[in-house]
Amino acid sequence: MIIDFHTHIFPPEVRERREEYARRDPTFAEMYADPKAKVATAEELLASMDEAGVDVSVALGFAWQDHRDIVRHNDYLLGSAAKSGGRIVPFATVNMAAAGAEAEIARCTEAGTRGLGELRPESQGWDLNGEAGRELGELARSLGLILLFHVTEPGERVYPGRRGLESSVFREFVSQNQDLRVVGAHVGGGYYTNRGLRAAPHVDTAALSFLHPGDEGIEALKRVPGHRILFGSDFPLVAQKRAMAELRRDAPADCVEGALGENARELLDI
């Protein structure tokens, strides 16, 4: 079983009304205001999966600031998953700074979400290691949810969508919540380059070739325990077929098959 742990789908109206959404949401504008920036629907994700030979994809929400946009997106994710015959696994989105966050997490959990992500606390203005993060951890713990965070790697490189959660903040959260199931996107922002770590979260390989071109990708994956690597394409930013080929090329040979499916299957309890 091949599982892509990091994909994005949006309701069709978001692409159709891209300029309107960009005007009112600065994070969306940063990443998707350019008409060339790819925005995919559930149907397009399923077509990509058929082409690439992917059995299951985790479809992630977007870190909207407006709670109403969050609810609309979650409805689309949950509805698309329900119609997919188990091929799409939904991860709802949430803004912990919004008044309705706790109720929305409960609603989405009852409707079938397996986790929350792609979470970007700093883009939405809440503190992961403050009261909002404590509440998030308690909800994830009580509801059995996986938490997937966008994690920003150290350095000065600038690109759309870079900001979201500093790696040092992510490290502190996983250190204080070692009982939670946590995934750091984009190889965890370099999480495993640090020494003396007390926690061992999963990390995904989303946008690996963009963030770690050439031999950098090989070196980045060498540092991660093999059973903690999850294949993630970041579709539609990167084609699933291409992302799979890059993982097979860059990951240690004895880690490839686990990363492509078994690690995710165990985490999701499929």
Q: What is the structure's pLDDT at 68?
A: 97
pLDDT digits (tens, 9 = 90+) for 73-127: 999 999 999 999 999 999 999 999 999 999 999 999 999 999 999 999 999 999 9
- Helices within 91-182 (DSSP H only): 101-111, 121-124, 131-143, 167-176
Q: Is residue 58 helix, strand or coil?
A: strand
Q: Which band of pLDDT confidence, cut at 50, 70 and 90, is reported for residue 188?
A: very high
Share of the chain above pLDDT 90, in %: 86
CA angle 118, 37, 48 (to 5 degrees): 70
Q: Which band of pLDDT confidence, cut at 50, 70 and 90, is reported for residue 159?
A: low
**Phi, psi dihedrals of residue 41, rounded to the nearest 5°:** -100, 175
What average pLDDT does the segment 245-267 reach? 96
Q: What is the structure's pLDDT at 155?
A: 61
Q: How far is residue 15's CA from residue 114's CA, in Å, rounded to a whole number?
A: 25
Share of the chain above pLDDT 70, in %: 96
Q: Are 89 and 268 in contact (CB under 8 A)?
A: yes
Q: 44: domain CATH number?
A: 3.20.20.140
Q: pLDDT higher for 198 or 262?
A: 262
Containing 90, the helix (H) or strand (E) segment is: strand 88-92
pLDDT digits (tens, 9 = 90+) for 215-253: 887 888 999 999 999 999 999 999 999 999 999 999 999
- pTM of the entire structure? 0.96
Angle of helix 215-222 versus helix 240-250 axis, rounded to 10: 70
Please give the DSSP secondary-structure letter assigned to residue 253: G
Q: How far is residue 34's CA from residue 19's CA, in Å, rounded to a whole number?
A: 9
Please enumerate, as own/partner, the contacts of 28-32 that have beta carbons within 8 Å and a separation of 24 or more: 28/62, 28/64, 30/160, 30/161, 31/160, 31/161
Please give the DSSP secondary-structure letter assigned to residue 141: H
pLDDT digits (tens, 9 = 90+) for 43-58: 999 999 999 999 999 9
Q: How far is residue 90's CA from residue 213's CA, in Å, rounded to a whole number?
A: 29
Q: What is the structure's pLDDT at 161?
A: 64
Taking all residues of the chain, what is their mean pLDDT, rounded to a whole number? 94
Domain with 171 in it: 3-268
Number of domains observed in the structure of the chain: 1
- CA 194 and chain centroid, separation: 22
Which pair of tokens denotes residue 103? 């109720």
